[in-house]
Structure 1
Amino acid sequence: MIMYDFCVLRDYRRSARVDQFISDEIGLISRNQLKQRVKDLKINDRAAKLSRKVAPGDRIRLELETPPRIDLVPEEIPLNILYENERVIVVNKPQGLVVHPAPGNYTGTLVHGLLYYREIEADEEDFRPGIVHRLDKDTSGVLITAKDQEAHEFLSRQFQEKTTRKVYFAICRGSMETTEGKVEDRLGRSDRNRQLFTAVSRGGKPALTRYRVLRRWKNASFVALFPATGRTHQLRVHMRSIGHPILGDPLYGAGEKDGCSLMLHAFSLKIVLPGAAGVSCFRAPLPERFGTVIRHLAAERG
């Protein structure tokens, strides 16, 4: 069993269920995982249901079942390695590859491929050995992984302190009028669909994305995205929020109606490597799917 104690701050003003509070405000686990693993829940020392609303000053005591152990069996998965030394491996993650095991994807992940490629130092209960940050399944591009725990902590700290610099390329729907801009808000899970994220007036987490339009066509734009934060689905939510969803996005756009897969690619990452004095920059060339769509858009323009 795993025990947690939380306190709802006195200035908390949102009316939320306790499962929403634990998932969205605390960020412990998803509501679905909470429902599956909750063993005991008390609010102010009284038994409570996950649907109970929380109030400022409430004390929450949560007991969770220990998650089932996942046996990680190395799998031969092709890896496009951009850089490697004795501490890190930088890969160009292809579209469609899940980064680490999760419900619905317990095999065939990048983690399984890394374990096959070489031994990665990890704790016994670590289901994500080497993984420092992640990319969505349908997002391709640069991803750095650690070979040992010390390197993992060193790299993770830079993401937490927001000292890394990332550039993404995307093709978005519509010809964008402004050449540069930014989207800044707070992102939280949607009340209508818990798999989606949206801008919220209260709660959530701060999110900031800057963008620059590099090329325009009649019905689309080629855009460079500079995320200052790393929230789940941040770039996809932000581009939709300004009326230009990323082409091929099945969650925040028209998806299959666009006639292409998600046109989002992590192009570059600047980060300090363990033991290095300066910043390293890694780049992943645009995948062929971008060239195909760009040629199609150029032909339409003509």
Structure 2
Amino acid sequence: MKKKYAFFVNEFLQNKRLDVAITEKFSFITRSSLKNSIELLTVNKKNQKLSYKCKLGDEIYFEYDEPPALEKEDIKPEKIDLDIIFQDQNYLVINKPYGMVVHPAKGNFSGTLVNALLGLNIDLSDVDKSRPGIVHRIDKETSGLIIIAKNNKSHVYLQELFKNREISKKYRAIVKGYFKEPSILIQNNIGRDPNNRLKMTVVENGGKYSETYVTVISRNKELSYLDIDLLTGRTHQIRVHLSDMGYPIIGDKIYSRKSLKYKDAPLCLVSYRLSFFDIFSNKLLDFAIDEPKEMKIILNNIKN
């Protein structure tokens, strides 16, 4: 599907190649797809090449033939072991492992949670045919609980609960440093980092409002172990909030500097509890798991 885009070059995009500026402005577009799918490109209403070096205030316009969305039939079922916490006729609750992408997208067409779900040969909602069963996501690097809808009624119900913040999502994290506040409510806006399209950042203007409530479980001079209520669901929200406060999560290769001591550690962030009232069974569903073994090893450093 052909789409039209226009924007002005700001101070963050000036002096960059035009293809770099476009992919930083529109994070869902890659440089390789841009090269293959762009149909018209102008700068200040004159035809231009992707190698053009942007100037402040340049007016950019381009037409991009967006690749068609994946359909369920395009996604291959795969036999991948899953840690199933709960299952009934409406829901499937999975303990997603560290490193697994939730659904297929550019660069990740196999090995995802959706591939594994299709491999189970069970009923899944198809409200979004490119992401059967998927109502919410957690980052590839984050492990823990994710709920899957097995039919469209439960899918729509879960969507409403997430929209109205009626699903409790709790996380635990190990961060660098002595977290000073016993508890704190973090409130600010999160938007795309203008200097790195892979990152999000706290912004003063624009972005999306976000709330995270943090409580200290234990701490020492080197590390802190935190309990976290995710009150809104922005991309990388917990990672951004903690890093912005000066307490990056152990194992975070995007929002933390390299650490020789923990260089092989996975992201020490787990979605450990998920609860909501289920209208179909007329009862509260409450699921919880332990921390991954890699986190438990590091936790010994705090306790000792």
C-alpha separation between the residues in 1 aligned to 2:113 and 2:63? 32
Aligned residues: 287
Which residue in the other structure is 1:188 paired with?
A: 191
Larger mean Cα displacement after TM superposition, 283-292 or 106-115: 283-292
User: 1:115 is matched with which residue: 115, 118, 124?
Assistant: 118
Task: Please report how far the alpha carbon of residue 79 of structure 1 lies from its aligned counterpart in structure 2 after TM superposition.
Answer: 0.7
C-alpha separation between the residues in 1 aligned to 2:237 and 2:127? 32
Structure 2 residue 233 is the aligned partner of structure 1 residue 230 = yes
Structure 2 residue 76 is the aligned partner of structure 1 residue 73 = yes
User: 2:244 is matched with which residue: 238, 241, 245?
Assistant: 241
Q: Which amino acid is the alignment partner of residue 67 of structure 1?
A: P
C-alpha separation between the residues in 2 aligned to 1:170 and 1:191? 27
User: 1:32 is matched with which residue: 25, 30, 33?
Assistant: 30
The correspondence of residues 36-115 of structure 1 with structure 2, limited to 5 A, is 64-67=65-68, 69=70, 71-115=74-118
Task: Please report how far the alpha carbon of residue 2 of structure 1 lies from its aligned counterpart in structure 2 after TM superposition.
Answer: 5.6
The correspondence of residues 143-222 of structure 1 with structure 2, limited to 5 A, is 143-222=146-225
Q: Once superposed, what is the RMSD of the aligned Cα atoms?
A: 3.5
C-alpha separation between the residues in 1 aligned to 2:267 and 2:4? 38
Structure 2 residue 296 is the aligned partner of structure 1 residue 291 = yes
Give CA deviations for 1:211-239 in whole Å, capped at 9, x if unaligned: 00010122111101111110010000100
Task: Please report how far the alpha carbon of residue 53 of structure 1 lies from its aligned counterpart in structure 2 after TM superposition.
Answer: 9.1
Ranges in structure 1 where 5+ consecutive residues have no aligned partner: 9-13, 55-59
Give CA deviations for 1:104-154 in whole Å, capped at 9, x if unaligned: 211011111111113344559722110111111111111000112222121
Task: Please report how far the alpha carbon of residue 167 of structure 1 lies from its aligned counterpart in structure 2 after TM superposition.
Answer: 0.7
C-alpha separation between the residues in 1 aligned to 2:47 and 2:180? 52
Change (3 A) 1:129 1:84: same
C-alpha separation between the residues in 2 aligned to 1:289 and 1:160? 33
C-alpha separation between the residues in 2 aligned to 1:31 and 1:3? 12
Classify the secondary structure of the residue corresponding to 2:260.
helix
Which residue in the other structure is 2:270 paired with?
A: 265
Contact in 2 for aligned 1:188/1:204 (Cα 8 Å): yes
C-alpha separation between the residues in 2 aligned to 1:110 and 1:3? 30
Contact in 1 for aligned 2:136/2:146 (Cα 8 Å): yes
TM-score using structure 2 length: 0.80
Overall identity of the aligned pairs, in %: 32
User: 2:287 is matched with which residue: 270, 282, 286?
Assistant: 282
Runs of 4+ off more than 6 Å: 14-17, 22-25, 46-54, 60-63
Which residue in the other structure is 2:253 paired with?
A: 250
C-alpha separation between the residues in 2 aligned to 1:238 and 1:182? 10
Q: Which amino acid is the alignment partner of residue 296 of structure 1?
A: N
TM-score using structure 1 length: 0.80
Ranges in structure 2 where 5+ consecutive residues have no aligned partner: 14-18
Change (3 A) 1:218 1:167: same
Task: Please report how far the alpha carbon of residue 291 of structure 1 lies from its aligned counterpart in structure 2 after TM superposition.
Answer: 1.2
Which residue in the other structure is 1:11 paired with?
A: none
Contact in 1 for aligned 2:23/2:30 (Cα 8 Å): no
Contact in 1 for aligned 2:102/2:138 (Cα 8 Å): yes
